[in-house]
Structure 1
Amino acid sequence: MEQDKIFASPEEPTFTRVFRNWDSRCLRNILDDWLIHLKILSKSPTSDRLWKSTLPFLAIPQSVIQLTFLISDKLEQPPEVRYLTVEIFDRFMTRHFTTLHENVFKKPGAKQNYKMWSKVISRVQNQTLLRLLSCMQLSSKFASHYQVLSPKKIRQFLTDAGHSFTITSIIASEMRVFQTLDFKIPLSPPLVHFETLLTILMKDYSALKSETYHIEVLEPIHELGLQILDIAFLLHHELYSNLFYMATGERGPTGSQRLKFLGVECDNLYLAAAVIACAAVMLYEHQNDLAEGVLTYVSSRTGIPKKDIAGLASILRRLSLEASSRLENCMN
């Protein structure tokens, strides 16, 4: 029994445990430097999301994101895996589909090309679940060394789902995804921004208040924030369409407007700040001073105007409440 304990994988450290165990003096400097880095990433050009005139977020409709979240839960993966999987899958499928289209239609013979393209589409459809799991497999390696998804575990899941793939084909698929992405994994999804900003917020509050106060008051923001972040992913298109309408009074964005608005859609620090502000309002709606204090703080630390954060947070709150209402109706 004792030997099992020694060689067993340790429990995945939670956000709370990591937060409490870090030395405050070291953590302050690290977090400040990391936040500066995240600001640079959030404001950097979105050219890495544009590949041969394609746009991001086209390969991940709500149904795909729902499937990703369900599989992630089934395979007992931490939250960062599902978010990173969505982003990797979007980037991979955009490049994969575009490359296949170019390879087919650059050849002469229109009629033959359309027949060939039909076969290619059929093959892509048959491999979609495998590709999604390959993206999740990569994500698990970058997110947690405790719960890495092995090819054997992926094969078992595929078998249970009625698909037959060998271990060799699963390994080859993972390598295909990695190569298509030029071996570059986006390691700053919204969850990284969210937890970094929230940790800084909690540390600053702990300097002003007692340990009990900041843990009891601010820690619930993390749990609720993850739920709100799920909503932001699932309803991405609706969220940013509403934000565009709030900012311009126009429906969209469409065409060239979408390209100009892309910087807002890809600003993960902006989204993280809005998620924290939204969680604070929902948790402390009867404590306006606290909710307003959180909003003011995240605005000052990110440099994003309060009204912009409050605007996105208000849309997130409405979408979250609507989603909660729909869930309750389904259960009744």
Structure 2
Amino acid sequence: MEQEKIFATPEEPSFTAVLKNWDFRNLDYMLQDWLVYLKIQSKMPPSGRLWKNTLPFLAIPESVVELIFLISEKLEQPPEVRYLTVELFDRFIMRHFTTLHENVFKKPGVKNFKMWSKVVSRVQNQVLLRVMSCIQLSSKFVTHYQVLSPKTIRQFLVEAGHSFTITSIIASEMRVFKTLDFKVPLSSPLVHFETLLTILIKDFEAWKGKTYEAEILEPVYGLGLQILDIAFMSHHELYSSLFCMATGEIGPIGDQRIKFLGVECDNLFLVAGVISCAADLLYHQENDLAARVLIHLSSTTGIPKKDIYGLASILKKLSLGQLL
């Protein structure tokens, strides 16, 4: 499906292409400031992800995440759009579903269950539309080159066998945005990933004792994105395994889940594990380079080395089965 593009806008530059044009002497100050901000975010309590009695990540099983990734790729959206869409859809659908449930059952009555059955059916029929609205919103916050218009969204939905009108598509986008209280997360895991990787690349020259070339660590970026995709699609398995590794128990469940939520929502910890895993897969034969990457990540983030290593080892196990 061919997407509409804004007249005379250039293609967005790649990660390494941007780095080639930066003077690292000036970039260093910006990176340190941005890293401080990301560290503060990672330490903040995850209360922003709790809404009434709902918990995050319950509405995004692997099938939903995979659907979002496939649609984003088909619509030629940059990687950050798919990660942001997953978070927006998770936040929206939990709030939307809870609000509808409260409205139906605010008064006791037998008829409520029949009404609720109809509401659930309607929500199910609108899932793809809501996913598309979240992708559309994400595209507006991530890139002005590839913003998705209602016409593009409608064309995709028609090809998928749905006959939503332009008006209903616009109304759905507004419904999603309003349900989210018109708030969108400022930084996705990709921002954390690119920040940490840029710092890693900046220090690469000192490790190798040779002139810096952006291409040297380009494989870490490409493989890291694949591992980050796997982390999103295997979220529940990843963090259940991490919980078991840390406590020796199966879970987390009940109150344990709420206490563990800070770990699940820590994007800095996640991407540190992703980069460490990518380095281990790529440089396991190059002396102690992968170990140096791990030490550097721990030093930069303040996260204990054993914690990053533990997360990276689980990611490696998940990735080997899917990357082969």
Q: TM class by shorter-chain length?
A: over 0.9
User: 2:259, 2:78 → 1: CA distance?
Assistant: 33
User: 2:118, 2:124 → 1: CA distance?
Assistant: 10
Task: Give the structure 1 partner of residue 276 of structure 2.
Answer: 277
- Deviation string for 1:14-62 (max 9, x for gaps)? 1111111123232111110000000000110100000002110000000
Note if 1:86 corresponds to 2:86.
Answer: yes
Please list every run of 5 or more consecutive structure 1 residues that lacks an aligned counterpart in the other structure.
Answer: 1-5, 326-332
Task: Give the structure 1 partner of residue 3 of structure 2.
Answer: none
Higher relative contact order (CA 8 A, sep 6+): 2
Task: Give the structure 2 partner of residue 63 of structure 1.
Answer: 63
Please state whether the residue corresponding to 1:57 is helix, strand or coil.
coil
- 1:205/1:214 contact within 8 Å kept: no
User: 1:22, 1:78 → 2: CA distance?
Assistant: 21
Root-mean-square deviation over aligned CA pairs: 1.5
User: 2:54, 2:191 → 1: CA distance?
Assistant: 26
- 1:77/1:147 contact within 8 Å kept: yes
Note if 1:268 corresponds to 2:267.
Answer: yes
Structure number with the higher helix fraction is: 1
Please state whether the residue corresponding to 2:229 is helix, strand or coil.
helix
Please state whether the residue corresponding to 1:124 is helix, strand or coil.
helix
Once the two structures are superposed, the pairs formed by residues 106-145 of structure 1 within 5 Å of their partners are: 106-109=106-109, 111-145=110-144
* TM-score, with structure 2 as normaliser: 0.95
Task: Give the structure 2 partner of residue 225 of structure 1.
Answer: 224
Please state whether the residue corresponding to 2:203 is helix, strand or coil.
helix
Task: Using the TM superposition, give the Cα deviation of residue 152 of structure 1 relative to its aligned residue in structure 2, in angstroms.
Answer: 0.3
Task: Give the structure 2 partner of residue 174 of structure 1.
Answer: 173
- 1:81/1:140 contact within 8 Å kept: yes
Please state whether the residue corresponding to 1:219 is helix, strand or coil.
helix
Task: Using the TM superposition, give the Cα deviation of residue 270 of structure 1 relative to its aligned residue in structure 2, in angstroms.
Answer: 0.2
Identity %: 74
Please list every run of 5 or more consecutive structure 2 residues that lacks an aligned counterpart in the other structure.
Answer: 1-5
Task: Using the TM superposition, give the Cα deviation of residue 220 of structure 1 relative to its aligned residue in structure 2, in angstroms.
Answer: 1.2
- Deviation string for 1:145-175 (max 9, x for gaps)? 1100100000000000010111111111101
Task: Using the TM superposition, give the Cα deviation of residue 213 of structure 1 relative to its aligned residue in structure 2, in angstroms.
Answer: 4.9
Q: Which sits farther off after the overlay, 12-21 or 290-299?
A: 12-21
User: 1:275, 1:176 → 2: CA distance?
Assistant: 34
Please state whether the residue corresponding to 1:9 is helix, strand or coil.
coil
Please state whether the residue corresponding to 2:146 is helix, strand or coil.
coil
- 1:92/1:181 contact within 8 Å kept: yes
User: 1:151, 1:210 → 2: CA distance?
Assistant: 52
- 2:85/2:138 contact within 8 Å kept: yes
